[in-house]
Amino acid sequence: MDGYYYKQKLNLEDDLVASGVRDRRVLDAIRRVPRHEFVPEESKGLSYSNIALEIGHGQTISQPAIVALMTELLEVREGDRILEIGTGFGYQAAVLAELGARVFTVERIRPLAERAKATLTKLGYKDRVRIFYGDGSRGLKKFAGREGYDGIVIAAAYHKIPSRLLGQLKKEGGRLVMPVGGPNMQELMLVRRVGDKFELSEWGACTFVPFIVGREG
């Protein structure tokens, strides 16, 4: 690993711990993923700063602290089937794959989906991450398995939790993490399925791009 990025990764890990991240597995996964491969060339010097970065098309790569928190809340275990809505450049998908998840990720903007596929393939994640171009609001029921997804993570904000996606969540213990709210006020929410009921908890204010229903090229 390039020595420059290695030092930055150590500094980022300190920042994540200071922000409250405690799960050692999540911290190790984030350290292993080369975030500089998932940002535009002009932003590589900021790859390991704890900030969101623009990736074009009005989208961003989330700040590492938010990625870490959302990943912690998913409680990913080896072999879990995880659905991600909003692939971006593929960074969150890589972190999930490092934890042993089978990731099915949907991106509605074709150039981002293509870039993510190329990067994830280059870095050896091809067998653990499947990328789809389309309307993520529909989920991917075909790949949910008999029991549904173990976890769903949505990297865009909506005014409510989409019922169609809740229906693809594992029937017992499934977790869904997403920002809920409008453009000016959002709350990170965790939904846990317990039988036919859903338990909700709030995990702090956040800022995400809007969740858009419909296909865009």
Q: Are 136 and 164 in contact (CB under 8 A)?
A: no
Q: Structural domain boundaries of the chain?
A: 64-206
Read off the tokens for 153: 């993570």
CATH number of 64-206: 3.40.50.150
Q: What does each C-alpha distance from 132 to 16, 106, 110, 171, 182 come to in angstroms?
A: 30, 5, 9, 24, 26
Res 6: pLDDT: 82
> Strands 81-85, 151-154: parallel, antiparallel or unpaired by DSSP?
parallel
What are 30-64's pLDDT values in tens digits? 999 999 999 999 999 999 999 999 999 999 999 99
Res 11: pLDDT: 92
What is the CB neighbour count within 10 angstroms for residue 127?
9
Residue 145: band (very low, low, confident or very high) from pLDDT cuts 50, 70, 90: confident
Query: Does 198 have pLDDT greater than 50?
Result: yes
Average pLDDT rounded to a whole number, residues 5-33:
93
Annotated catalytic sites, by residue?
Answer: 62
Res 215: pLDDT: 47
pTM for this model (two decimals): 0.93
What are 152-168's pLDDT values in tens digits? 999 999 999 998 999 99
